[in-house]
Amino acid sequence: DTGVSQNPRHKITKRGQNVTFRCDPISEHNRLYWYRQTLGQGPEFLTYFQNEAQLEKSRLLSDRFSAERPKGSFSTLEIQRTEQGDSAMYLCASSPYYQTVRTNYGYTFGSGTRLTVV
Amino acid sequence: TQLLEQSPQFLSIQEGENLTVYCNSSSVFSSLQWYRQEPGEGPVLLVTVVTGGEVKKLKRLTFQFGDARKDSSLHITAAQPGDTGLYLCAGEVGANNLFFGTGTRLTVIP
């Protein structure tokens, strides 16, 4: 397994365009998370999936954002009508479904997709 | 909303010095994780602490979880240039998601 893979690594788009990012998690991980990180800040939670079910969404996830994980494997994050404020690093992470006190392996993050809206 | 505050935000030290980074919150967490992030990359897990008062060591790094599971510290002994990076603490609430701190950017000067 090569870890969590995100594509593309970089995306430059004009304001008002739609963009879609892809995340391929570690294959045996049931949980998949999306985070957004702006310069100088820690990552902020956007949403997470358990298998194909989207179980939680942050208030940061406006109606222009939509995430899917149709077969419980890879996930996509789409941003419609991009705005300059959407410029950030979008991080995907995965983890096993069940983590105990003794076997808490944390989250495995991808390298992120850096979005620049011009 | 950031639940976790880290201090200091920036730290620049000479190689060989010791340092401590603090992570504080008013919330109780089921676990506290420390990550290190390099520019242009995602965070990489360093350690997870789950029990109040727990201390874990990773070579020259020592992590401590507060007794009340609301705060944590990271101590680095004899810092090396390879320790340079953004250090992030993250608190887990239940088993659902992770809330990250504001980060401490460490620069170790050779």
The tens-digit pLDDT sequence of chain A (118 residues) is 579 999 999 999 999 999 999 999 998 888 999 999 998 889 999 999 999 999 888 888 889 999 999 988 999 999 999 999 999 999 999 988 666 555 567 889 999 999 999 9
Q: Could A41 and B103 be called an inter-chain contact, meaning their C-beta atoms sit closer than 8 Å?
A: yes
Three-state DSSP state, A38: coil
- The per-residue pLDDT for A104 is 66
- The per-residue pLDDT for A96 is 82
Q: How far is B45 from chain A (nearest CA, A)?
A: 7
Higher pLDDT, B87 or B1: B87
Separation CA A100–CA B58 (nearest Å): 21
Separation CA A38–CA A40 (nearest Å): 6
pLDDT band, residue B73 (cuts 50/70/90): very high
Three-state DSSP state, B81: helix
Higher pLDDT, A96 or B8: B8
Q: Could B100 and A40 be called an inter-chain contact, meaning their C-beta atoms sit closer than 8 Å?
A: no
Separation CA B25–CA B15 (nearest Å): 30
Question: Which secondary structure element, helix H or strand E, spans residue A40, and what is its range?
Answer: none
Closest CB from B4, B42, B51 relative to A109: B42
- What residues of B are in contact with residue A111 (Cβ under 8 Å)? 40-42
pLDDT band, residue B47 (cuts 50/70/90): very high
- The per-residue pLDDT for B3 is 76
Mean pLDDT of the residues in chain B: 92
Closest CB from B35, B41, B90 relative to A111: B41
Q: How far is A9 from chain B (nearest CA, A)?
A: 9
Contact criterion met (CB below 8 Å) for A93 and A46: no
Q: Evaluate the omega torsion of the peptide bond into residue B8 and state whether it is cis, within 30 degrees of 0.
A: yes
Pick the closest to residue B43 from B110, B100, B107 (CA basis).
Answer: B100
Share of chain B above pLDDT 70, in %: 95
Segment B68-93 mean pLDDT:
94
pLDDT band, residue B30 (cuts 50/70/90): confident
- The per-residue pLDDT for B110 is 95
In DSSP terms, which residues pair with A10 in a beta bridge? Answer: A114
Q: Could B50 and A55 be called an inter-chain contact, meaning their C-beta atoms sit closer than 8 Å?
A: no
- The per-residue pLDDT for B97 is 74
Q: Could B40 and A112 be called an inter-chain contact, meaning their C-beta atoms sit closer than 8 Å?
A: yes
- The per-residue pLDDT for B72 is 96
pLDDT of B36 strictly over 70:
yes
Contact criterion met (CB below 8 Å) for B97 and A45: yes
Pick the closest to residue B87 from B41, B50, B35, B9 (CA basis).
Answer: B35
| Per-residue CA distances from B79 to A41, B16, B23, B41, B84 (Å) | 23, 5, 19, 22, 9
What's the first-to-final CA gap in chain B, in angstroms? 36
Closest CB from B45, B97, B100 relative to A42: B100
Give every CB contact of residue A18 below 8 A, 6+ residues apart in sequence.
A78, A79, A80, A81, A82
